[in-house]
Amino acid sequence: MALNAALIGRTYPPGAPYLVGREKIREFAAAVGDDAPAFHDVAAARGLGYRDLVAPPTFAIIVSNRGSATAMFDPELGLDYSRVVHGEQRFAYRRPIEAGDELLTTTTIENIRAVAGNDVLTVRSDITDVAGAPVVTAWAVIVARGTAGGA
């Protein structure tokens, strides 16, 4: 079944804040194989001008996925997750994520289009701190295989 294009522009409010922890940053950096000292050692991060550990650039996926899931699992969207592949991911940073940040994610369905029998869903996650200051915007492009045109 095709995705519900009437949801283009729908925005989902943030849930509870995500508290960025030092160990989460260290674990993520280790998982992606990045041994940069600022991701593991507080003194090294502070030596570079950060207040605490700084997160690798792709760490924002952890925070943005919470908001994206709200949109993707909206029953009105009609997404069959068993048909999903991740097509693309990109980030636009206003500032780095650091340990101690409390982050909120507001998610918007930016686009739904049919391509070669597939539905392509673009979801934007605007991540701010709890005071409302922008931190990073993340875009995820999700492909629902074989769903366009009622396939």
In a domain, 39, yes or no: no
Average pLDDT over residues 141-149: 88
Average pLDDT over residues 26-52: 98
Confidence tier at 151 by pLDDT (50, 70, 90): very low
Domain count, the chain: 1
Count CB-CB contacts under 10 A for residue 48.
11
Cβ-count burial of 147 within 10 angstroms (0-12 exposed, 13-18 middle, 19+ buried)?
buried
Average pLDDT over residues 17-44: 98
Here the CATH number for the domain that contains residue 65 is 3.10.129.10
Q: Where are the alpha helices (DSSP H) in 4-145?
A: 22-31, 42-47, 60-72
pTM of the model: 0.92
**26 contacts 20 by C-beta, under 8 angstroms:** no
Q: What percent of the chain has pLDDT over 90?
A: 93
Range of the domain at 104: 5-20+55-150
